[in-house]
Amino acid sequence: MIPFTKLHGNGNDFVVIDEYEGTIIPDEMKAKFASLYCERRYGIGADGVLYLSKSGTCDLKMRIFQPDESEAEMCGNGIRCLAKYAYDMGYVSETCTIETLAGRIEVSMKYPEDEDNFTATINMPTPGFLRPEIPATGEGEYVEEILEYTVYAVNTGVPHAVVFVDEIGSVRIDKAGPVIRNHHTFPQGANVNFVEQAGEDHLRIRTFERGIEGETLSCGTGATASAAVAHHLDLVGSTVHVETSGGPLTIYLGEVTKMEGPAITVYSGVIPF
């Protein structure tokens, strides 16, 4: 039997496999396990599997595998979920560090009596702008309709494309997302964020996520990337409220880039394996 816990951050949901005391899923099976159990009809259903273990350099180590069996560098919403789980288990206090493929991530948590109000603030990787802008070119259906977009390329631990539009509800994200996601500018692919300025220091975004190959309800690194590009273009200030489809995140841009948002435990169970 394999114990697991499911959590979500603004609807971006994850299965946590606790390997703090030792390996549960062998490394050569981790990707396939994610493919099987992220499936929403025949598995548990999730946007990814988080493997939690001890670290030689940080308090915790996180690996994330996605439904297509790829391993992502990191995940902002996933780190909040992992940190909450670790705090609940007594592995860490209200501050901790997490080792990821994108580097060391610092987390601080606020845990009131009402668990639904749990929030975590994460020191994100410094946004790295790959180049000022790229044309959205490619082959296939719908390309001609997105050639008018300006696509900004930025890395926030994970490669992202950021596209500003007048109204995100009108975007056919299932058509436009894959074209930009597979653009040759991103040799490892990219998450694609369609962004609408909704007011002063307020953005709305929808994200087509690499590895899931579809729209997710929230993307923490995408919210950070979108806020960073908007700030770079002088559209917002240093504190940016980002409304994802699944809920709000707050991005703080300064010497250290920070993301603040919730995490909620959904349920725990066991897998007969």
Q: Look at the block and give the residue holding tokens 């948590």.
A: 109
CA 51 to chain centre: 15
One-letter amino acid of 66: Q
Residues 260, 245: Cα–Cα separation, whole Å: 16
- Three-state DSSP state, 183: coil
In angstroms, the CA 96 to CA 184 distance is 37
Active-site residue identified among 58, 81, 96, 219:
219
Structure tokens at 126: 């410094």
The encoded tokens of residue 158 equal 């994970």
Known active-site residue 219:
yes
Give the distance, in angstroms, between the CA of residue 101 and the centroid of all CA atoms in the same chain.
14
Residues 121 and 80 sit within 8 Å (Cβ to Cβ):
no
**Closest among 253, 254, 186, 242 to 217, alpha carbons compared:** 242
CB-CB contact of 48 with 55 (8 Å): no
75 assigned to active site: yes
| Amino acid at residue number 110 | K
Question: Is residue 171 helix, strand or coil?
Answer: coil
Write down the catalytic residue from 38, 58, 75, 96: 75
Residue 1, number of CB atoms within 10 A of its CB: 7
Please tell me the distance from the alpha carbon of residue 207 to that of residue 191, in angstroms, as a whole number.
7
Q: Active-site residues: which are they?
A: 75, 219
